[in-house]
Structure formats: C-alpha cells, structure tokens
Chain A
Amino acid sequence: MSKKIVILDYGSGNLRSAERAVARHGVDVTVTPDWDTAVEADGLIVPGVGAFSACMTGLKSVRGEQIIGRRLSGGRPVLGICVGMQILFAKGVEHGVTTEGCAEWPGTVERLEAPVVPHMGWNTVDAPDQTVLFKGMDAGTRFYFVHSYGVRRWELQPDPMGHLKPPLVTWAEHGDRFVAAVENGALCATQFHPEKSGDAGAELLKNWLSTVE
C-alpha cells in the first residue's frame, strides 16, 4: 500500500505544486484541513507563504499547531516548508510586532539583513555530514528560496546529559547566514521550496519520504 501523505490546507499559498511534487514519487497525496486525516497520515507537509502572523492565524483556525504536536508526540513525520518551517520556531517579528509560533524549537524569525530582500532565487546550502534530506547531493546543488525573514541564530542548547540526538541544522547565506533546513527526529523543515526546486527538490522530497513509514 502506498504511503499516505497529507498537505495541510489552512489557506496558505499554491498547494497544487506541493501536491504534484509529492505525488510524483508514487505516494497517495491529500490536501485537506481535516484534523483526523492530518493526524493519521503517514507523513504531513505544512506549507506556508506570506506573513508569519497570517500563517499562524490560518494554522490555528484548523488547530494546526495541535495537529503537529500530536503527530510529533507519536514520532510521526512532519515536514514544514518556507513559512511552514518558520512557524515551528518560538516567535516571529514582523514590522516590530511579535507573533508566537508553535515553539517546537526556540528562536526568532526576523528580517534578513541583505542589500536585496526578498532573498529570491536559487542558492546553495551547507548541510551537515549526517544529513538524510540532502543525502547524495553535491555541495553546489541549488534550491529555490523566496523569503524576507529567516532564523539567523540557532538557539536550542545541546542536551547536557547527552541523551538526545542534537538536531541537524543546514545553513544558507544571503547577507549573513540563516537556517535553510532542520532535521530533528520526526520533525523536518526547509526554508526553501523543494516543490519548486526542480530535480534537486524532487530528490530532497524523495529523501524525506524515505523517512516516512
């Protein structure tokens, strides 16, 4: 039986591309805001474009932060994309206004400091050796980014007892460096759009789907 993947529909952006990009890999994809379907899926993708605050409002309207929490407590894979990654952090600051996020990780989503913003286009990333998402890819591989905000400091402190496997953080650079992807057990996220990143994006989605059972 093929894997069941749900793309969480909370009114944010172009979901068709994400749906098709995942369906290419022979999985069963549903785009829905439905709680049960999203909680029970083998894998959940949380997309997101636009403002952090608007995305949080949309996410809460479908109880998305609870869906994510419920899944993670059962070790069920979740992939956040673009603002769908940003909302996993503790807070977002836009135009001086702070919005609380899902707080799966500490940290702040803030405006990028670069001569040209939004950061729009294809950029390289610096992934750690143990990465699963970027497995088998060259260092020069480029992914499609479009965002004005990002996480510029990774604030999660290492577990002092050394019991927890530290998350794998992948960085990219525009002006200065920012978090391009996180791999943390069942919770993965990318600041770029794998569904818009051609063959490289397809490879990354395939790697993520390999973690979904």
Chain B
Amino acid sequence: MSVAVRVIPCLDVDAGRVVKGVKFQNLRDAGDPVELARRYDAEGADELTFLDITASSGDRETTYDVVRRTAEQVFIPLTVGGGIRAVDDVDRLLRAGADKVSVNTAAIARPEFLQEAAHRFGSQCIVLSVDARRVTGDTTTESGYEVTTHGGRKGTGIDVIEWARRGEELGVGEILLNSMDADGTKNGFDLEMLRQVRAAVSVPVIASGGAGALEHFAPAVDSGADAVLAASVFHFGDLKISEVKDALRASGHPVR
C-alpha cells in the first residue's frame, strides 16, 4: 500500500463568504465556508483549501473567524492561501486552526520569506503556490513556462522549474502548481508542465487548473501529481469528489 492521491476542493472566500456559484442541494447556507467545508468532508475530501480573496485588510478578521470555525468542526487538513505577506500572517492563520498556508506573490517579491516561514513553523505547513503559463512573445525560458503574478496577467520571466527548485531549497514542504493557461478551460491539467516540475523537485506537487471531466484526473497523477485540486467542477456539482476517486481507483491509483 502507498500514500493515497489526495483530492482537494478549493473554496474562494471573500470577507467570510464563499464566492462563485455553488449549486449544492440541501444546504442551509451555500455561501458559508464552514458549511461547505463540512459538506466536502462528508463527501470524502482529503484536504480543504481556502483561497482568501478579501481585498480590504479590515475584512481579514472574518477570514480568521472562518478558519477558526472550520477547524472546530472539520477534522481534515486545512490550507489557507491569499494575501499572506508576513510571518505574522502565517502565525495568525496557524493559531486560528489552519494546518498549512500557501504563499504566492509575497514569495516572488521576497523569496527569503519562504525560508523564514519554513524555519519558524516547519516545512510541513508552508506551501508554495505557483501560477505559471507557457511563455509568449519575446520571453523565453528553458522549460517553456514562466511564473506569473496578478492572476496570470503579468509574466515575470522566471522559469517555473527554477522557481520550484528555489522554493524547495528555501524549505517549502509542497508545491501547488496552477496552470494559468488551463485554468477555467475545463480541458484538463497541463500535463507537460506537471511532468517538468515533478522531475525537478522531490516535494509533493498538487496539480491545479483545467479539471473539467473525470478522465482528466488520472493523467495528472500519471504525470507526477501527488494531489489534484479543483474548484468550480465541485462547486457547480459537475463532478463529485467520490466520482473523482472512483475514476482514480479504476486507473490503478490508491485513494482513501
């Protein structure tokens, strides 16, 4: 037996409320992240991820409150990402009950932040979230992919492979690899990018972006993903977590 492929639903949370349509039946409040977290837990989610998209810092308290209430009711690992800029932010989220935090923009601005956070709290709770896409125009990188910021709108010219390796060196325990090309297409994960990143690092890699059908998940695992993450296909009820697991199991991958 070996460790199971993790299936991870991601919820976008804005000022304490889940945004993007959620079409669950029989939910008292589909906008309540805690209620949704419980629902996903009951459906067999292996972990949960909250992406905090709260714009105003004044509303951030609500995020801590959501994390606190979730941790009180849901007994599977919880990762929180979005807007984490300082070691103190990490500390507050962990104290509220998060098990891991994912860091994206702040690490690009100042990579040492990853090292400081991993040193203080342990590698196991620091996830490097990477938004990457194929290079376009005059930009070239060895892998053919570059890291982006601003939700994929701005290229940095940094090779995704170099960045993943750097993250590992700085002590992150896991890499969340988001394909900005595949994101929202529902045409499947970017398998080539996954293969390249998998070959470059030895920490777990979570595939994200592009999931649209059951047959998309096993190829991501075949390409080296240790976990698969999706948002809208779960929220809109297109796919159930249990169906994704059945599909993975049918392809010979261990699931919980």
Contact = CB atoms under 8 A, between A and B. Distances in A.
Interface of A: 13-14, 16-17, 20-21, 49-51, 54, 115-124, 140, 142, 144-148, 173-174, 193, 195-198, 201-202
B202 interface: yes
5 A-B pairs with least C-beta separation:
A50-B122, A16-B97, A124-B1, A121-B3, A122-B256
A122 B203 CA distance: 16
Contact of B124 (A50, A140, A173, A202): A50
B72 interface: yes
A29 to B, nearest CB: 12
Contact of A14 (B1, B71, B173, B226): B71
Contact of A120 (B73, B94, B96, B124): B124
Contacts of B75: 17, 20-21, 195-198, 201-202
B125 A121 contact: no
A115 B204 CA distance: 10
A202 B72 CA distance: 13
A197 to B, nearest CB: 7
Contacts of B72: 16, 20
B97 A17 contact: yes
B55 interface: no
B77 interface: yes
B256 A117 contact: no
Best-surrounded residue of A122, A123, A174, A195 (most CB of chain B within 10 A): A122
Interface of B: 1-6, 41, 46, 68, 71-73, 75-77, 94-99, 121-125, 173-174, 202-204, 226-227, 256
A115 B173 CA distance: 14
A196 B76 contact: yes
A146 B173 contact: yes
Interface SS of A by simple majority: mixed
B74 to A, nearest CB: 9
A206 to B, nearest CB: 13
A116 B122 contact: no
Nearest to A51: B122
A144 B76 contact: yes
Nearest to A126: B1
A50 B121 contact: yes
Nearest to A16: B97
Nearest to B73: A20
B6 A20 contact: no
Given A16-B95, A196-B99, A123 B41 contact: no
Nearest to B201: A116
A33 to B, nearest CB: 15
Contacts of B95: 14, 16
Contacts of A202: 75
Contact of B123 (A140, A148, A196): A148
A109 B41 CA distance: 32
Which one of B41, B46, B96 has the greatest number of beta carbons of chain A within 10 Å?
A: B46
Contacts of B6: 121-122
Contacts of B73: 20
Output the residue of A123, A142, A144, A174 with the most chain B CB within 10 A: A144
Nearest to A50: B122
A104 to B, nearest CB: 22
A196 B47 CA distance: 9
B3 A119 contact: yes
